[in-house]
Amino acid sequence: MNEKDANLKLRRIGAVIAAVAAIGGGALLSGCGGGGSSTGGTISNEVSTTVNNAQGEAESGVEAAEQGIEETKEKAEETVEETKKKFENSKGQTKEKLEEAREKAEEGLEEAKKKAEELLP
């Protein structure tokens, strides 16, 4: 899960950096008077493409995160069910062991009574 989170963060950071670089590059070229309308249109298209790519990456990152959350919820539910079963089984085993211990204690008490009777005049 940590690896998925790290990949998601890296993708988002990369997309943001790419968008900022494209916008910054466009601003730099337009500020320097770089070229005619064809250059400005090309830069505008590049910025638009970069922004669209960043948006697509962000959306796929969100989808991956949602999928991870679903998988985590399912795993947690499975773990809760397994824990409930183990707890129920342990309660049954504890009752059995207590019953066995009680029976052994009663047997020991009976034996002690018999020995005491044998020793008494």
pLDDT in tens, 17-69: 777 777 766 655 565 554 445 555 577 777 788 888 888 888 888 888 888 88
pLDDT at residue 83 above 80? yes
What pLDDT is recorded for position 30? 60
CB of 13 closer than 8 Å to CB of 45: no
Mean pLDDT for 70-74 is: 88
Domain that holds residue 54: 2-119
CA distances from residue 52 to 17, 39, 55 in whole angstroms, order as listed:
13, 20, 5
**Token representation of residue 59:** 């959306």
Q: What are phi and psi of 56, to 5 degrees?
A: -60, -40
Span 63-85, average pLDDT: 88
Helix axis angle for 2-31 and 37-119, nearest 10°, is 160
How many domains does one find in the chain? 1
